[in-house]
Amino acid sequence: MSLEEIRDRVAKAEAEAGRAPGAVTLIAVSKVQPLERVEAVLEAGHRIFGENKVQEAQGKWPAFMERFEGVELHLVGPLQSNKSRAAVELFDAIHSLDRIKLARRLADHAQERGACPEMFVQVNTGEEPQKAGVLPADADAFIAECRAMDLPLRGLMCIPPLDETPAPHFALLGKIAARNGLEGLSMGMSGDFEQAIALGATHVRVGSAIFGERDYG
Ligand SMILES: *Cc1c(COP(=O)(O)O)cnc(C)c1O
């Protein structure tokens, strides 16, 4: 477990970028990790976690939340419309808002519940056909539609293409956010979070660098 090391690297990247200490939220992405590794990070005092599947999070987090106070849970993976109610109930933030139909469902559930997770609009900055997210050219209109539904938009999220240098994607995300008056930038993972912080990330999503490699076997 190298939570301390990652916290130090985040703090150093903040300082080097002239950002305020604590400007960047470290989301520990715990998907697929053995429960004892997640528990160790909780024991070390960390409280902000990310999961990429609603069902997996439902199976794991209610019990941890009973034992550890103040857990904040972020959904970082794609969300199917039929899981939107469960997502509104469990998560404090959703980073994968990318369809009008999904936005409507989330807005309806939030209204029933009287509370809504913070929303990040996912932008497919690499315009990859297989990847989720709105296209950069459609982002402004999509953001406006979400605002018209009263969804609490915190910012934008992206996952750059695996085979490309991420910096131009982080810069593009920052540009779209700035022209839409959005302050949150969810970008940067284990391999590139320092670059993301240099380009304005407010939320980095770090999994394997904290917990170790995921074992999908
Ligand atoms: C798994 C995942 C991460 C964390 O990835 P690492 O490379 O392990 O840091 C971040 N963001 C999303 C959307 C993910 O699915």
Alpha helices in 2-99 (DSSP H): 3-16, 35-43, 54-67, 84-90
Let me know: does 3 contact 41? Beta carbons within 8 Å. Answer: yes
| Ligand 1 and 90: CB distance under 6 A | no
Over residues 178-193, the mean pLDDT reads 98
Measured in degrees and rounded to the nearest 5, phi and psi for residue 51 equal -130, 155
Place of tokens 């941890």: 64
| Ligand 1 and 29: CB distance under 6 A | yes
Report the nearest atom of ligand 1 relative to the CA of 76. Answer: 13
DSSP 24-36: SEEEEE-TT--HH
| Ligand 1 and 159: CB distance under 6 A | yes
Residue 186 lies in a domain: yes
Residue 189 lies in a domain: yes
Burial class of residue 11 (count of CB atoms within 10 Å of its CB; 0-12, 13-18, 19+):
middle
- The pLDDT assigned to 215 comes to 85
**From the CA of 211, how far away is ligand 1's center (Å)?**
11
Nearest CA to ligand 1 atom 4: 207
Alpha-carbon span 145 to 128, nearest angstrom: 23
Residue 62 lies in a domain: yes
**From the CA of 56, how far away is ligand 1's center (Å)?**
15
Q: Which residues lie below 8 Å from residue 56, measured CB to CB, with a gap of 6+?
A: 31, 32
* pLDDT 10s digits, 127-184: 999 999 999 999 999 999 999 999 999 999 999 999 999 999 999 999 999 999 999 9
Residue 19 lies in a domain: yes
Alpha-carbon span 172 to 158, nearest angstrom: 10
| Ligand 1 and 180: CB distance under 6 A | no
Best mutation site among 38, 52, 53 for ligand 1 pocket (most ligand atoms within 8 Å of CB): 52
Assign residue 81 the CATH number of its domain: 3.20.20.10
Single out the residue of 131, 147, 148 nearest to residue 157, CA to CA.
131
**Total domain count for the chain?**
1
Report the nearest atom of ligand 1 relative to the CA of 214. Answer: 8
Query: How many helices (H) and strands (E) are present in the chain, helices listed first?
Result: 9, 8
Nearest CA to ligand 1 atom 12: 76
Instruction: For residue 89, give Cα distances in angstroms to 25, 85, 156.
Output: 22, 6, 21
Residue 52 lies in a domain: yes
Place of tokens 């913070």: 118
**Is the per-residue pLDDT at 1 higher than 70?**
no
Q: 0.85 cut: is pTM over it?
A: yes
Residue 215 lies in a domain: no
**From the CA of 172, how far away is ligand 1's center (Å)?**
20
Q: Which residues lie below 8 Å from residue 22, measured CB to CB, with a gap of 6+?
A: 14
Residue 117's domain comprises: 3-209
Residue 217 lies in a domain: no
**Is the per-residue pLDDT at 217 higher than 90?**
no
Let me know: does 164 contact 128? Beta carbons within 8 Å. Answer: no
- The pLDDT assigned to 38 comes to 98
- The pLDDT assigned to 119 comes to 98
Residue 119 lies in a domain: yes
Report the nearest atom of ligand 1 relative to the CA of 189. Answer: 9
- The pLDDT assigned to 216 comes to 84
**Is the per-residue pLDDT at 57 higher than 70?**
yes
**From the CA of 29, how far away is ligand 1's center (Å)?**
6
